């Protein structure tokens, strides 16, 4: 190219300048404007030319050269250095009330100082990794992670590879020293792409974009950082040193200046004139939370006036002029103390995370299921790890994954036990299954679980027979299966310590009552057939007269029923094909526990057949009693409010379920309405 030669004649310095300018321009066209003007090959050729020139003239290498963006030398470890000015954290608030209190405290703090807040600057709280960039005479000279706020890790090389980090600030009259603080993020799309790549390369995946961002930045080899698409969003300043007074009066001014210097700043930021406006802003951002291209975990509010910020100052931990209003947490971080292994009623060994107790959305959580061995391996979870847990919906919390950057050195991986932790016999993992199982048919833990389930609310719902007594009876050898319970006599029981005559009589009565009133649905559910829960038990009870009929049903017959798929049908067949199960059924039958269902046509004549109902608040009678009434009328009693719900029966102090049901347009009844429903069916009973 003609031009190349001409500038080369002017000397390598001019050509280096020109290449830097051109490469920067193409970078911007490509990354910011998404409108490249040259091919990747042409770009690479320019880039290689610059690398060669810089190699032969190292003294001419510019401090903002685009070659710095590919990542320099591999580091032996991450060095640490103190921040010039401490990087404070933020105090959190979790509700409108707490926010108001914070805002009022700040206003009071300003009284008499002569400074006015000037409103609140609000922007999303970015869920990434806080960092500080140091610019000397406009050139990026150092980058530190927040670390503990006093001392951070040096990540200068890695930070230079982030495309939207200016290597040289734009503009004139720049302060000689300027420290810019912000958050390093990985956008959702890049995060998903990275995890796909990692998975297909057989490498570890990241639990969330924040971990991915932190893991990608804190690399000893900055070339790895260069390949990860990170972004830096600037939201405040650290130290600034200038011979001229700094011209900025408000936080909005600072952001505008940052953006003029070439930084990207958090989107959706705005000035709220009053705490009330700030509340509205929170609601708007929370509503948009999931549609943003990156993860946020709340809103940050800062007193707008810099003079007022200074007047308010800091507590030991955090500024008095800024606060984070966090979304009610669906995620939390804690430590994995241990992984224990529980034996389920089918002999499956289920790993359970034993956690340091942590509050998650207002509830203390100390355990979470880990599902199976593969899940532990997939997450690469190790006892001792810092872990992120989350609750999706209202269910049991899940472990999202370890926080790898907090993993203590030398933490050994978890090995799944090869023996049943309850009875010590061999455990085995069947081909094609993810579960390890205890092979001992009379494993006491399996017996314990299956009997407990049999009498539990999910099963026959026998009152007053708790795990303690089941444990004692099993340990004595007197009870080995659910059927044995029904052979117990009062005298058997009175032989045990702390079992008086009345307790023994109650115990026997409760069993007799359960035997008398058991419905086929509850009986099926009580047996604990794999994959047959309450819903499937209801379907089966509606179609078969008794267990003999069900036992005789073919796979095809089962598949023809609503909501029964191949796996469930297979599991039902397998249950009846197992000798010990047939023996158990025969014994139960001989003991008189053999419920017979109404014929299907009778069943559908139940007043509340197919109706979904939920009770909430304080009712005039025990909730269980209402539940039984509803179930006997054919209704399904739900545990949470969802669109599927037909009726919510609300007692006193009904709380959030009532609000949610109202919002979903679900019909709401009081107790009288419910009684009317029982007799008349779901016509149009009185609604609240």
Q: What angle do CA 226, 227, 229 make, to 5 degrees?
A: 85
Q: Within positions 280 to 309, which residues make up the interface with ligand IVH, using CB under 6 A?
A: 300
Number of CB atoms found within 10 A of residue 202's CB: 6
- Please write down the long-range contacts of 6-14, taking CB distance under 8 Å and 24 or more positions apart: 12/53, 12/56, 12/57, 12/60, 13/57, 13/60
Q: What are the tokens at 326?
A: 């966090």
Please tell me whether residue 210 binds ligand IVH under the rule CB under 6 A. no
Quickly count helices (H) and strands (E) in the chain. Answer: 27, 22
Of the residues 8, 60, 84, 88, which one makes contact with ligand IVH according to CB under 6 A: 88
Smallest separation, CB 209 to ligand IVH (Å)? 13
Residues contacting residue 90 through CB under 8 Å, at least 6 positions apart: 300, 318, 319, 322, 323, 324
Whether 682 and 647 have beta carbons less than 8 Å apart is answered as yes
| Stretch (H or E) spanning 103 | helix 96-110
The least CB distance from residue 267 to ligand IVH, in Å, is 10
Comparison of 149 and 471: residue with beta carbon closer to ligand IVH: 149
302 is catalytic: no
Count residues contacting ligand IVH (CB under 6 A)? 15
For ligand IVH, the binding residue among 266, 275, 347, 384 (CB under 6 A) is: 266
258 binds ligand IVH (CB under 6 A): no
Q: Which of 61, 125, 628, 643 is catalytic?
A: 125
For Cα atoms 501, 504, 505, give the angle at the middle one, nearest 5 degrees. Answer: 85
**CB–CB of 367/389 below 8 Å?**
no
Nearer to ligand IVH, 30 or 88 (CB): 88
CB 1 within 8 A of CB 38: no
Residue 173 structure tokens = 């009259």
Establish if 248 lies at the interface with ligand IVH (CB under 6 A). Answer: no
Rounded least distance, CB 123 to ligand IVH, Å:
4
- Of the candidates 231, 245, 423, 266, the residue with the CA atom closest to the CA atom of residue 341: 423
User: Among 552, 464, 124, 120, which residue's Cα sits nearest to residue 298?
Assistant: 124
Of 54, 123, 631, 670, which lies in the binding site for ligand IVH, with binding defined by CB under 6 A? 123
Q: Which is nearer to ligand IVH, 131 or 661 (CB)?
A: 131
Q: Does 240 bind ligand IVH (CB under 6 A)?
A: no
Q: Does 139 bind ligand IVH (CB under 6 A)?
A: no
Please choose, out of 17-25, 82-90, 489-497, 660-668, the segment that lies near ligand IVH by the rule CB under 6 A.
82-90
Please report how close the Cβ of residue 302 comes to ligand IVH at its closest, in angstroms: 6
Q: Is residue 183 at the binding interface for ligand IVH, with CB under 6 A as the rule?
A: yes
CB of 92 to ligand IVH, least distance (A): 7
Residue 327 interacting with ligand IVH (CB under 6 A): no
Whole-number Å distance between alpha carbons of 144 and 165: 13
Out of 20, 46, 53, 90, point to the residue binding ligand IVH (CB under 6 A): 90
Residue whose CB is nearest to ligand IVH in the complex, by number? 130
How many CB atoms are located within 10 Å of the residue 341 CB?
18
528 binds ligand IVH (CB under 6 A): no
Q: Which residues belong to the active site?
A: 125
Write out the residues near ligand IVH by the rule CB under 6 A: 88-90, 123, 125-126, 130, 183, 235-236, 266, 300, 319, 322, 324
């Amino acid at each position: 190219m003609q031009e190349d030669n001409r500038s080369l004649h002017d000397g390598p310095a001019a050509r280096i300048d020109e290449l830097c300018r051109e490469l920067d321009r193409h970078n911007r066209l490509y990354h910011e404007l998404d409108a490249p003007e040259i091919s990747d090959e042409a770009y690479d050729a320019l880039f290689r030319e610059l690398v060669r020139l810089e190699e032969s003239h190292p003294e001419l290498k510019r401090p903002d050269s685009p070659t710095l963006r590919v990542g320099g030398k591999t580091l032996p470890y991450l060095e640490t250095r103190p921040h010039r000015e401490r990087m404070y954290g933020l105090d959190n608030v979790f509700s409108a009330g707490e926010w108001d209190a914070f805002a009022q405290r700040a206003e009071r703090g300003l009284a008499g100082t002569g400074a006015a807040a000037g409103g609140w600057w609000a922007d999303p709280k970015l869920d990434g990794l806080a960092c500080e960039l140091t610019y000397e005479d406009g050139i990026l000279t150092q980058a530190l992670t927040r670390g503990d706020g006093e001392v951070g890790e040096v990540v200068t090389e890695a930070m230079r590879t982030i495309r939207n980090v200016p290597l040289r600030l734009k503009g004139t009259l720049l302060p000689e020293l300027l420290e810019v603080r912000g958050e390093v993020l990985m956008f959702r799309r890049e995060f998903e792409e990275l995890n796909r790549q990692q998975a297909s390369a057989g490498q570890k995946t990241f639990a969330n974009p924040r971990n991915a961002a932190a893991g990608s930045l804190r690399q000893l080899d900055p070339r790895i950082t260069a390949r990860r698409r990170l972004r830096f969003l600037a939201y405040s300043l650290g130290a600034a040193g200038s011979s001229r007074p700094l011209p900025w009066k408000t936080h909005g001014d600072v952001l505008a200046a940052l953006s003029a210097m070439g930084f990207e700043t958090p989107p959706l930021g705005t000035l709220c004139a009053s705490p009330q406006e700030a509340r509205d802003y929170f609601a708007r951002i929370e509503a948009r939370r999931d549609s943003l291209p990156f993860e946020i975990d709340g809103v940050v509010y800062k007193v707008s006036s810099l003079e007022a910020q200074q007047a308010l100052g800091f507590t030991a931990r955090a500024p008095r002029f800024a606060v984070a209003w966090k979304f009610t947490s669906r995620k939390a971080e804690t430590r994995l103390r241990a992984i224990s292994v529980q034996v389920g009623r089918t002999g499956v060994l289920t790993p359970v995370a034993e956690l340091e107790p942590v509050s998650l959305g207002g509830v203390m959580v100390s355990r979470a299921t880990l599902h199976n061995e593969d899940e532990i391996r997939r997450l690469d979870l190790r006892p001792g790890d810092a872990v992120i847990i989350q609750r999706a919906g209202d269910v049991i919390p899940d472990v999202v994954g370890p926080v790898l950057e907090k993993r203590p050195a030398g933490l050994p991986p978890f090995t799944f036990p090869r023996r049943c932790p309850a009875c010590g016999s061999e455990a085995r993992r069947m081909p094609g299954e993810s579960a390890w199982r205890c092979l001992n048919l009379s494993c006491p833990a399996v017996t314990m679980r299956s009997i407990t389930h049999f009498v539990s609310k999910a099963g026959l719902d026998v009152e007053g027979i708790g795990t303690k007594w089941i444990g004692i009876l099993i340990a004595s050898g007197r009870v080995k299966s659910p059927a044995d319970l029904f052979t117990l006599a009062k005298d058997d029981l009175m032989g045990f310590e702390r079992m008086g005559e009345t307790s023994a009589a109650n115990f026997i009565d409760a069993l007799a009552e359960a035997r008398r009133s058991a419905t086929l649905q509850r009986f099926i559910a009580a047996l604990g057939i794999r994959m047959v829960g309450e819903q499937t038990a209801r379907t089966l009870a509606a179609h078969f007269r008794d267990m003999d009929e069900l036992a005789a049903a073919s796979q095809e017959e089962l598949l023809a029923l609503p909501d029964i798929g191949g796996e469930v049908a297979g599991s039902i067949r397998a249950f009846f094909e197992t000798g010990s199960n047939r023996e158990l059924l025969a014994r139960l039958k001989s003991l008189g526990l053999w419920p017979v269902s109404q014929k299907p046509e009778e069943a559908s004549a139940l007043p509340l057949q197919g109706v979904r109902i939920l009770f909430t608040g304080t009712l005039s009678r025990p909730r269980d009693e209402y539940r039984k009434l509803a179930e006997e009328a054919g209704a399904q009693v739900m545990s949470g409010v969802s669109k599927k719900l037909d009726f919510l029966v609300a007692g006193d102090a009904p709380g959030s379920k009532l609000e949610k049901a109202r919002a979903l347009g679900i019909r709401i009844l009081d107790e009288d309405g419910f009684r009317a429903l029982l007799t008349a069916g779901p016509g149009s009973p009185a609604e609240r």
